[in-house]
Amino acid sequence: MKHYNRIKGLIAATFTPFNQEGNLNLEVIPMYADYLAKSSIQGVFICGTSGESLSLTEQERKELACAWIKAAQKRFRVIIHVGSNSIIESKSLAQHAEEIGADGIAMMSPTFFKPVNVNELVTYLKTVALSAPHTPFYYYNMPTITGVHLPVKDILKVAGQEIETLVGVKFTSNNFMEMAECIDYDCHRFEILNGYDENLLCGLAMGVEGAVGSTYNYIPHIYQKMMEYFKKNKITQAREMQLKSIAVINIIIKHGGGVRGGKAIMKFIGINCGDCRLPLSPFSKSEYEEIERELVSLHLIS
């Protein structure tokens, strides 16, 4: 496996830009990458939930991956999500990610025909990981989306013996007892990345050092301040930063969730990622005006 350093900081779960016809708009990626590089994030997590991965074709996902690798210019890491309901597609995406020089790949469980126990899941993950034998591999745990509620610590125990490239977990769950156990497992062997932005402070208290999230696209400074305060044991100030982020998250939840609402915010800050793909509906003019007023009230835009 290629040389690997643990992530200490924020990884932005990027949105997939579409044009007015609903096709990929790769012309946005260089500007998007420049913007993120200036915000001092540690990397991007592409083709994940925020990137509408399962709404994309295999070819679109490969084109998007190439565009991000090219635009990143080694300024930050590029982790590519390769999860799919087709293991053939996932293997192809993993192989492609390694060929183009991805810094890591991640994979969630299938969401239709689901593994029913840890051994089934690990067999599935291993089959895909072997298609990128030199690339760090993350298990993407998001039970609320996948419907796969298997003990992550047990997954690490088995996968740690079976998958040589396994380095950690994108832990998108509110089970902080389980998170703490995973961080502590086998003398902190695996990297556990916080997955819910609104609970990053809780994750820091459990011992995480890195995080993947969609709001790191547009308010990374809030979380960076939070992490600085936490390191200095200024918990009251860190909590204030978390509450600021929660105020923004409440707005995007009100307007259709992290992907739909997040894309609207990106447009306001000058990175137009277009609308989401159906079934996520486009914003009406009145909705844009309402979310703009709410963002102005929080002094996020002027």
**Quick one: how far is CA 121 from the chain centroid?**
20
Q: Residue 118: inside a domain, yes or no? A: yes
Q: Residue 209: inside a domain, yes or no? A: yes
**Quick one: how far is CA 49 from the chain centroid?**
7
Task: Please tell me the predicted confidence (pLDDT) of residue 3.
Answer: 75
Q: Residue 178: inside a domain, yes or no? A: yes
Distance CA 111, CA 5 (A): 30
**Residue 212 annotated in ligand binding:** yes
Task: Please tell me the predicted confidence (pLDDT) of residue 238.
Answer: 98
Q: Residue 229: inside a domain, yes or no? A: yes
Task: Please tell me the predicted confidence (pLDDT) of residue 130.
Answer: 98
Task: Please tell me the predicted confidence (pLDDT) of residue 162.
Answer: 98
Task: Please tell me the predicted confidence (pLDDT) of residue 151.
Answer: 97
Number of structural domains found in the chain: 1
Beta bridge partners of 193: 170, 210
Q: Residue 267: inside a domain, yes or no? A: no
Q: Residue 271: inside a domain, yes or no? A: no
Q: Residue 300: inside a domain, yes or no? A: no
Distance CA 122, CA 269 (A): 41
pLDDT tens across the length of the chain (302 residues): 767 899 999 999 999 999 999 999 999 999 999 999 999 999 999 999 999 999 999 999 999 999 999 999 999 999 999 999 999 999 999 999 999 999 999 999 999 999 999 999 999 999 999 999 999 999 999 999 999 999 999 999 999 999 999 999 999 999 999 999 999 999 999 999 999 999 999 999 999 999 999 999 999 999 999 999 999 999 999 999 999 999 999 999 998 888 999 999 999 999 999 999 999 999 899 999 999 999 999 988 76
Task: Please tell me the predicted confidence (pLDDT) of residue 96.
Answer: 99
Distance CA 35, CA 86 (A): 34
Active site residues: 140, 170
CATH number at residue 29: 3.20.20.70
Domain housing 139: 9-234
* Sequence-distant (≥ 6) Cβ neighbours of residue 253 within 8 angstroms: 261
Q: Quick one: which H or E segment has residue 78?
A: strand 77-81
Q: Residue 250: inside a domain, yes or no? A: no
Task: Please tell me the predicted confidence (pLDDT) of residue 225.
Answer: 98
